[in-house]
Structure formats: structure tokens, C-alpha cells
Chain A
Amino acid sequence: MTDTYPALSLVPKSELPLSAKDFKSDQEVRWCPGCGDYSILSNVQSFLPELGLARENIVFISGIGCSSRFPYYMNTFGMHSIHGRAPAIATGLAISRPDLSIWVITGDGDALSIGGNHLIHALRRNVNLKILLFNNRIYGLTKGQYSPTSEQGKITKSTPEGSLDYAFNPVSLALGAEATFVARTIDSDRKHMTEVLRQAAGHEGTALVEIYQNCNIFNDGAWQPLKDNDSRDDAMMRLVHGEPIRFGADNEKGVTRTADGHIKVVPVAEVGEDAIIRHDAHAKDPGLAFALSRLANPRTLQNTPIGVFRDIERPSYGRMARQQIDDVIEKKGVGDLQSLLNGSDTWTVS
């Protein structure tokens, strides 16, 4: 296991193999019937045993929102905190406890609106956190207001004439914030989500996984073109490191560079196979990843990439912070409290 997930080398291993049911808590799951959160929960519970970690060394931390109830349903350590603050809370835990595998569960409102500041700073610091961002493009728990990822013009209770805001693209935002691992998956594709989770778990530092999730009550069908059998393959491309970026019902489309340095989707037959870009998730420069994140049409969802956009190596904040402490101790020795209190300028009264 240690070899598969070097980033988890400091986390103790489970003595006995665990199964999905070991990760189910005794709490009744209270999401709406048909909610996309169920499949994500089930996928995570099925995937975790693969890591072979001691269950007590796994922590789920969430903010506020429908998705943030997630930790209650996981039989691990967990905290359901306050709106938007989960990355900040998890940061304190992650940098002081390298022996834990920490997962942040958040949504588009929690992570990108009230908690936007914490998210971008966790990403740039590369704190050892796996952030699962459930994006349903709506506020569910407060019953249906538009969110920072809602398409402009969204008619909701708070925007009866249509929302005015330009939407955030979470993947673009994360790449701009110096994220070292950025991926996107979709609640209805179990296999793909598991593969993305696997890569995220093995990453040292912050991994942001955007999960397209359906809210069947307030924004049903938000990702439908990516789910329907007859539209899915035409709309969605799967990024695989080292592979040409091709998609379409007959794999007839691909991504190529244009003369002016941009990228665009073209029929492969038109440009030839050699002109199709090979995906490089490990590229130091986030340029290609960013360009890919801009390909999709936010309204029709045509040309939506899923998979790992970026996965580069950079030491985590926690590792460097502990290294600084170790270095100081090696250089100056462990601190002596009495000499600290005395300082360098004392006098004696007898």
C-alpha cells in the first residue's frame, strides 16, 4: 500500500482489511431521495478500503450545505463545521497532524461563495487535504437560490428576472490559485469517480476534485447532457495523462492547437491524428490545463473535460512547516523553557 500511495506514508495502516460497510456510520442518511450525494457517498465508502489506512486516522471535515452532512454518514472521525470554513479548519488539523488522511467535503456555495478565500489559500499553500467540491449549481439547503456556479440568467427565488453574476469555473479558479492537483468527475460515473479519487488520495498536498452532482429538487438535470446516453459521448471528453485528447460517439473529435496559440475542438479527420494534443497533467506550466478548463460551453456543456487536469509535485505546507521546526531544533537544540523565561538580560536581588 505504501508504494501505491507514497503521499500517505505517514498515515498508519489498518491491521485488518476493511470493507465499504466499515465506513458506514449508524446515522440515517437524510438527503432527498434521488440526490446525487448518495452515489458519491457510496463511491467514497467503497473506495476508501483500497487505501488500507487505519479508519481512525481518516477525518472528514465539511462546512454547511447539503453536501456538508457527509461526515455524519462516514464511520471515521468527522466534523460538520460552519459555512465556508472547512478548508481553514482542516488546514490547522493537517499541518499539525501528518498522520491523518483528511478529506474536505464542500459545495459550490460553501467553497466558492462564503468560503472562497479559504479555498484559494488552501490551494496555494498546498496543504495536505483532499477537497471534494459537490457542484450542483444551486443552493439546496436554503431552498433554491442561485449559486456562484449558476449560469448567468438563472431564474430562482432570489433572482426572479434572472441572475446577473458571471459564474465561477471551479477548475479555472483552482488552477489560477496555484493548485497542484485539479480534477473533475461526475456523480453518475462510478468508475471514473473512483479513478479520480484514487489519484487524488495519492497526491501530496491539496487535491481539488470538482464533482458534478445533481440536485433533483432545485436544479434537476443541471448536468443532463453529460449523463444521457445519446448526448454524453458527444459532449464530454475524458482527460487521461499521456493520451491524445479525443472524444465523440465515434471518437471523431479532438483538441488541437490553433495558429494563434489557443486550443480548440476539431474533427480529427480534418487535422490528422498527429495534430491532436496529448494530455500532460504533470506539466509544470498550468497553461494547457487552464485552456482545457475554458473549453466547455457553460450553457450547453458541450466540450466538457472530465478527469485530472493537473497533478504536479510540490512539497506540502505541513511537510515544510515541520521541516522548519526540525531544522531549528537541529541547529539550536530543543528549547529550554527556563532560559527562554530568563532571557538574556536578568539581574538578581538577594
Chain B
Amino acid sequence: MTKKVVNLHRVVIRFAGDSGDGMQLTGDRFTSETAGLGNDLSTLPDFPAEIRAPAGTVPGVSAFQLAFADHDITTPGDVPNVLVAMNPAALKANIADLPRGADLIVNTDEFTKRNLEKVGYKANPLEDGSLEPYNVHAVALTSQTVEALKDFDLSKKEAERAKNMYALGLLSWLYSRGAEGTREFLKSKFASKPEILAANLAAFEAGWSFGETTESFSVQYEVAPAPLPAGTYRNISGNPALAFGLIAASKRSGLPLFLGSYPITPASDILHELAKNHRFGVLTFQAEDEIAGVGSAIGAAYGGALAVTTTSGPGIALKSEAIGLAVSLELPLVVVDVQRGGPSTGLPTKTEQSDLLQAMFGRNGESPVPIVAPQSPSDCFYAAMEAARIAIEYRTPVFLLSDGYLANGSEPWLVPDVDSLPTIDPDFATGPNHVDEDGAESFWPYLRDPETLARPWAIPGTKGLEHRIGGLEKADGTGSISYDPENHDRMVRLRQAKVDAIADTIPGLEVDDPTGDARVLVLGWGSTYGPIGAAVEVTRRSGVKVAQAHLRYLNPFPRNLGDVLNAYERVLVPEMNLGQLSMLLRARFLVDIQGVNQVRGMPFKSTELGAAITAAVEDLSNETE
């Protein structure tokens, strides 16, 4: 049966099911096929902290949202056009987000009395008319999958498990995605289990054929490739991009990469990715705790490695004392914080930006640490390289503040040519740097480079440079223990001045203000870049003038930040916290910042940000009228 083909510009699909239903895998596969077709895309996995939460319950729902388009997009979309609900819990948890008229694909097999009761449905929503506003496609996904696999030597339970592939096949047909990548993927995943492989392939094909033949779907959709800059692309999420950035920094500095880490959500995948890449000479050390993670990294840094520790907010709290030690020792160290909802254990699988002040101030004493924040999944690669550069050139710990949304979300990435990546010079100390009064040559471990104020990095094994360092205050220059009040005052100021001086090597903040006469600036940092960009674009389309800028460096700030803030009458700062950057900006620049804040564990919706921007602009013109 040939069906009508409709071209769409942008589609947002949300796959939702039980945490054991394989929704993340389904979403990943659909994403891969979509990437291969050249669409721009953005994804948002959203899953519970429990590995297998109680089946069929709302807390156990795992979802994967994907936006793809024939043009440049920066967010996974506020609301889906299509919701795939694998059970009543998935329907209940997601239906509120579905706009009227949207497509709803429901697995009717799971709408049993028991399952409905489990999530508090008094009547079956498939029958009580409550789904009338939607374009409902009632599909017996489970039983159709079992039927399609009846010739296989599988138990019913095993056959049922392939229903996500059936759903993937159906959606792949509906949106004219390719099938070859999925086939290849399954072949490699189930290489050792030929029966399971054949069943999954068959379920996928069955779902595809069902789409072609059923009358429930009258049209098939296509989304044309997006006009992206020429080059080689891949799809990538933030955690592997960050890991690749660290490997690249290792290659481009010639330093061996050492990771000391303790598993924690949502940062563990960086450890996994690096552990897979031992052939780059990477040493990965799964420590006994967070403190040993950073401790071992400090030891490796002392020995001349590019040393990294990865964690999330609770882990940073444990590492704080050791990070302070690295500040005092002035050794290169990259501290990766993939932020999640807090305080305490908080929301392990949900995103938040609430560790900014912890990174900034969460140590005893005057203990400045530079902070770099990536703005998108693929930007985690470049931000990791930049954090490594600052750490090595300035002999300092550096915070790299990613978050759960960047870590797990994905987007197409124009893969860089390795030769075009910047190089980093470790500039190890090789000989004496001082002449004593008696004319003898000696080595002063705290004699600073006059420009960067960085101290020499003299690693064990370097003849003649034997020296001792520690957490006690050191005499300026010689590095010997010193309790002298004037020296301490000088050393505190020197450590601060060194971090401040990093601003000399970072670019000024760029402002996007197309008309040049906007009065309101929206300033963000980190993963809000996508939602802010989408909101600004929509607002501008409606004729509102607004400028946008995004901070990559939170400490030190770019040199021109004060001028930028003062050039606008109102500054909006959206953050997934209660106003941490706002607080820093107010304190530093005495500028009245207007915060836009939410901590729902999910990225901003561009519509809510758009409304906040429009309100701010209108508010300002009302004031001045």
C-alpha cells in the first residue's frame, strides 16, 4: 500500500515506558538513524534513579525525547508532537505535556485493569473519551510482537521483551528513518545470541511492515536534511565528548592521562569511556572513595600526568579538602563535576546547575579555582581541552562544570580535524632557576613566571630539582614552610592574582544583538545555552528586541563582562538553581540582575523562557513610557 508522504520541518518524539522496556535504547537507535539522515537533532533522556523501579508505576517511567529538524535546532523541544506510551504509567506521566492534536501511540496490551489501578486510573483512558483531543493510534504492541515471533524458540516473556524493537520499527517507518544502522547495531549487540538477534530483527521488521499496512497510519513523514556546515558529522552526548576532550588534551600536551574516580551518577560514563581507551595510554583508577579519586589524581599530577577526577556534586563535597591542597600545591588538575539535583543525594538522574557556588567557594581559606562550563553536549569536548590547558599552563586545579542534561543529551557534532586542535606545552622545569647568595645554583619551587604567575612544574626524576611541597603555607619563592604574616598575605594575593590573570588568555564575551539596540540582555552559562537560544529566536521572530550572551568562563570572568552588563538596561539570567550566577554578578559588578530560576530537574522550556524575556522587555518599555 502506498501512502501519502508529508514533509515536516521539525518533529519532537517522546518514547516513554517502564524502566525495563528499553526506551533509552529505542531512543538512541532512532537518534542514530536520524543523525545519519543529516537532520539536526537534540535529545533528552529522562530516567529514574532506580535501575528497575517497581514495574508499571509512575516513578518507574523512563522516557527519551528527541527533536529533529531540517534546520538548526538547539533543544530537544518543549513538548512532543508524538508520544509513544508503552503502558498506562507512561501515559499518565507524560500526557500533560502533549498538545492537542498531537499523535499518541499507545500499547493497548498493557492497559489491563490491574495496570490501570496501579497508577490510579479509575476508568480506562482509551475508552473514557479523555484522549479525544489527541490523534490516538491504539496498537497492540506486545501481542503483535509475540505474534510476529511465534516461530522462534522463545518464551513469551523473551518475545515480549522485543516490543521496543517493534515500536522502533513502526516509528522508523512512520518518519522514513533508515533501517540498516539498526540492523548492524543489533547484529553486533547480539552477536553471541543468534536466536535473540533474529527475534529482535524480526520484531523490528514486523513493526515496520505494520506501519506500511495498517490503516491507523494514513501518512508517512519525511524531514529533509538540515543545511549544516560541510564536514564529517557524528552524533555525540556530553560524557563521551568530555572523555574525548581529555584524551585529546593528553595527546596535544604529550602528557599521559590519569583518571582517579569513584562511580557516581551521572558522571560514571566518563570513567567507562576512558577505561575503554587504554590504548591511548590512559590510566583509569577506580578508587575506594571520592577522596581517593582526587587524591590519586593529585599524586599523578605531582608525577607529571594530565590528572583528572570526575564526579557529581556530592563527590565534590567530599573532595573539597583535597582540591584545596591542589590549590596550595599549585599542581595541574581537572575536576569534572557533572551536576545533578541536590542537596545531598538529591535527584541523581536529573539535571541542575546548583554547584556553581560550591565550585567557586566550597573550600576553606581563600582558595580560588578557575571554572569552565560547556554549553552543549559536543562542546564538552572543547571545554575539557580548555580546562586542561588552563590547569597545565597555570598549575592549578580547574573545575569543569557539566550537568546531567549535557552528559546524557546528544546532538550532531562536526568532528574536528585532529591537527587543527590546539597544542598545550607542559613546560616542565629541567634545571635550577635561582642563584643563591653564595653563587650556588638552586631550585625554588615557588618562583613564579612573571606573566602567568604560574610556578615551575618539577616532577620527580628530574635531577637536582629535589624539593618538598605541602599544604602548609609556603614562603614566596623558596617554598619553605613559612608562618610569617606578611608572607601569608602576599601568597594569598598571589594565588588569587594568578587565577585572575587567566582572563588574559580567554576570549572576551561575545554578544549577539542583531539590531544593535536591544535594551535587555539574556545571559546564561552552561547547558541553558540551547533553551535560551531557542527562546531568543522565537521572541525575536515576534518582533521583540533582545540580546543574548553565554558565559563559558565563570572564574575568572571575561575582561569585558562588566562593560557588557552595563551596556544593557536589564539583564536576565536564567539558571537551573535559585540564582547562583546572579549572586556572583551582583557582587562583582553591582548590577541589578533579574534571575529566571527553576529547579525541576529538567532543562528550561524555551516557551517559558520566551515568556520571561517578553515580559522583561515589555516591563522595561512600560517603565520608560
Q: Which residue of A lies closest to B481 (CB)?
A: A72
Instruction: Say yes or no: is B422 at the interface (Cβ < 8 Å to chain A).
Output: no
Measured CB to CB, the residues of B under 8 A from A are: 32, 35-38, 181, 225, 228-236, 244, 247-248, 251, 256, 258, 260, 277-283, 285, 287-289, 291-292, 295-305, 307, 321-322, 324-325, 329, 415-418, 460-472, 480-481
Q: Which of B415, B461, B472 contacts A100 (CB 8 A)?
A: B461
A198 to chain B, nearest CB (A): 22
Residues of A near B321 (CB, < 8 A) are: 82
Contact present for B303 and A81 (CB under 8 Å): no
Q: How far is the CB of B60 from chain A (nearest CB, A)?
A: 30
When A55-B466, A82-B321, A97-B460 are in contact, do A92 and B296 touch as well, CB less than 8 Å?
A: yes
**Contact between A93 and B278, CB atoms less than 8 A apart:** no
**Cα distance A270–B325 when bound, in Å?**
59
User: Contacts A100-B303, A100-B460, A335-B281 given; 8 further ones with Cβ under 8 A?
Assistant: A57-B461, A77-B468, A78-B470, A80-B471, A82-B325, A345-B235, A346-B233, A349-B38
CB of A332 closer than 8 Å to a CB of B: yes
Expressed in whole angstroms, the Cα–Cα distance for A12 and B460 within the complex equals 12
CA separation between A27 and B469, bound complex, in Å? Answer: 12
- Least CB distance from A62 to B in Å reads 8
A334 CB–B CB distance under 8 Å: yes
**Contact of B287 with A337 in the complex, beta carbons under 8 Å:** no
| Residue numbers in A under 8 Å from B295 (CB-CB) | 81, 85, 88-89, 91-92, 118
15 contacts between A and B (CB under 8 A): A58-B460, A72-B481, A77-B460, A79-B469, A81-B471, A82-B471, A85-B291, A92-B303, A117-B289, A328-B279, A341-B248, A345-B32, A346-B234, A347-B232, A349-B225
Tell me which of A61, A71, A82, A350 has the highest count of chain B C-beta atoms within 10 A of its own C-beta: A82
Which residue on chain B has the smallest CB distance to residue A59? B460
Q: Are A341 and B299 in contact (CB under 8 A)?
A: no
CA distance A332 to B464 in the complex (A): 39
> Do B233 and A347 touch (CB < 8 A)?
yes
A interface residue numbers (CB < 8 A to B):
12, 25, 27, 54-59, 61, 64, 71-72, 74-82, 85, 88-97, 99-100, 117-118, 121, 321, 324-325, 328-329, 332-335, 337-338, 340-343, 345-350
How far, in whole Å, are A76 and B329 apart by their CA atoms in the complex?
A: 17
Bound form: Cα–Cα A54–B465 in Å:
12
Taking A79-B302, A88-B299, A92-B303 as contacts, is the C-beta distance between A56 and B279 under 8 angstroms?
no
Q: Which residue of B lies closest to A330 (CB)?
A: B279
Instruction: Verify B415–A97 contact, CB threshold 8 A.
Output: no
Q: How far is the CA of A325 from the CA of B277 in the complex (A)?
A: 9
A341, closest chain B residue (CB): B415
**Contacts known (A81-B470, A345-B32); A88 close to B460, Cβ less than 8 A:** no
From A82, A121, A346, give the contact of B292 (CB < 8 A): A121
A95: chain B residues within 8 A (beta carbon): 283, 285, 296, 300
Residues of B within 8 A of A12 (CB): 461
Partner of B231 from A54, A340, A349 at Cβ < 8 Å: A349
Instruction: Please tell me which one of the listed residues B287, B322, B417, B470 contacts residue A79 in the complex, with CB atoms under 8 A apart.
Output: B470
Docked CA distance A82–B303 (Å) = 18
Please determine whether B469 and A342 come into contact, CB atoms closer than 8 angstroms. Answer: no
In angstroms, how far is the closest chain B Cβ from the Cβ of A56?
Answer: 5
Interchain CB contact under 8 A, A96 and B305: yes
> Which B residues touch A27, using CB under 8 A?
468, 480-481
